[in-house]
Amino acid sequence: MTERVVLAYSGGLDTSVAIPYLAEQTGAEVIAVAIDVGQGGEDMNAIRQRALDCGAVESEVVDGREEFAADFCLPALRANALYMDRYPLVSALSRPLIVRHLVAAAKKYGGTIVSHGCTGKGNDQVRFEVGIGALAPDLKVLAPARDFAWTRDKAIAYAEEKGLPIDVTHKSPYSIDQNLWGRAVETGFLEDIWNAPIEDVYSYTANPAEPRDPDEVVITFEAGVPVAIDGETVTPYQAILELNRRAGAQGVGRLDMVEDRLVGIKSREVYEAPGAIALIVAHQELENVTVERDVARFKKGVDQRWAELVYDGLWFSPLKRALDAFIDDTQQHVTGEVRLTLHGGRAVVTGRRSDASLYDFGMATYDTGDTFDQSLAKGFVQLWGLPSRLATARDTRLGGAQQ
């Protein structure tokens, strides 16, 4: 029986050329699988047909937008996931979803090989292959751009030689990856880290410097899940879509950073994630109101490690599953409303309320109605500082260094 290769197909030059090339190199039939994760742009049916026209024996298109929002973006929101405290994991979140569907397609069509278009420099090769190894360790993996030193020049020449039905004349000066959660832009003049981004880099966000009226929005959460915007019930997908629109119109969510790639090199990336940033800002504030202090302090470390694991391609790892269980437990009381003002590239919290709030007005106020027993404070302060006083007395007695 002829082997079958399941290819993660984007519809672009590199993965289109990979269809006949993989068939030639392996003698296998190629199954193209394209996933819609909210990247916009081309008609997915046109992408499906293009794969067939390039020689795929089967071509499958999956509408993964709702699944991406609920199963991948939502856990990232509940983890306040910001890699290096800034980047909301745009590309890293979509890869495990794609892996899930590649493995499913391999089972469906009898595939023995999975292929992707990643190079050897990036993080995505790791995310794809580690994920595939976790879900289906029997599958082999091929990456033409990496394994066969497949350059763009070679791809263009091959496409012209084979008469493939793809446009090889236009090339964006940037490398772009985008989905519902955000948009990542790199290469071109951005590789000189002194060069400032120009406006044509951006697509999801308007120029925050342009004058416009602020936009006030109220986001309702239940157990850490956004369920309404300005009182209108929404799914996670609809919440992200709406905040991409409204926060993006205010220039919220632009990032320009040099990040540490998993492979060990530093990379300059420009990101746009208006909905993600607005939602994370609101979610963090509601956690401030509803999560007990020690749990909140510990969760900050868990959130950071969660983001690192996902960035590093370990979505399906045991540690990630264990951290998910902890995060799920912390969200049981993260219910309430947060009011944001979106303006000038910023999402600013201006109000918060929750029936599960740990904020006690009587305890907090300095005015009439104060219920805090201040007589308890003096003894507390003395006991709290006792270990430091004992250590200082010891150091003085032994001639130790004074601070």
Is 271 annotated in a binding site? The answer is: yes
Q: Where are the alpha helices (DSSP H) in 200-317?
A: 236-249, 274-290, 293-311
Among 4, 14, 268, 352, the active-site one is 14
Among 86, 167, 175, 245, the active-site one is 175
Strand order in the sheet with 254-260: 175-179, 182-186, 266-272, 254-260
Sign, CA dihedral 227-230-231-234, equals negative
Is 117 annotated in a binding site? The answer is: yes
Is 312 annotated in a binding site? The answer is: no
Is 344 annotated in a binding site? The answer is: no
Is 321 annotated in a binding site? The answer is: no
Is 354 annotated in a binding site? The answer is: no
Is 13 annotated in a binding site? The answer is: yes
How crowded is residue 346: how many other Cβ atoms within 10 Å of its Cβ? 18
Total count of residues recorded for the chain: 403
In three-state secondary structure terms, 170 is coil
Active site residue 71: no
In three-state secondary structure terms, 122 is coil
Are 96 and 37 contacting, i.e. CB atoms less than 8 angstroms apart? no
Is 204 annotated in a binding site? The answer is: no
Among 4, 94, 115, 124, the active-site one is 124
Is 8 annotated in a binding site? The answer is: yes
Report d(CA 333, CA 87) in Å as an integer.
26
Report d(CA 246, CA 261) in Å as an integer.
31
Which residues, 6+ apart, have CB-to-CB distance to 141 below 8 Å?
113, 114, 115, 116, 128, 129, 132
- The token pair at 242 is 């709406």
Is 243 annotated in a binding site? The answer is: no
In three-state secondary structure terms, 347 is strand
Is 288 annotated in a binding site? The answer is: no
Are 388 and 403 contacting, i.e. CB atoms less than 8 angstroms apart? no
Active site residue 203: no
Active site residue 183: no
Is 119 annotated in a binding site? The answer is: yes
Report d(CA 135, CA 341) in Å as an integer.
42
Is 158 annotated in a binding site? The answer is: no
Among 95, 100, 246, 254, the active-site one is 95
Nearest partner of 39 among 210, 156, 184, judged by Cα:
184
Is 127 annotated in a binding site? The answer is: yes
Nearest partner of 129 among 109, 115, 145, judged by Cα:
115
Active site residue 294: no
In three-state secondary structure terms, 379 is helix
- The token pair at 125 is 């090769």
Angle at which helix 274-290 crosses helix 236-249, to 10 degrees, equals 110
The annotation places the binding site for L-aspartate at 119, 123-124
The annotation places the binding site for ATP at 8-16, 117
Q: Active-site positions?
A: 14, 95, 124, 175
The annotation places the binding site at 8-16, 87, 117, 119, 123-124, 127, 175, 259, 271
The annotation places the binding site for L-citrulline at 87, 123, 127, 175, 259, 271
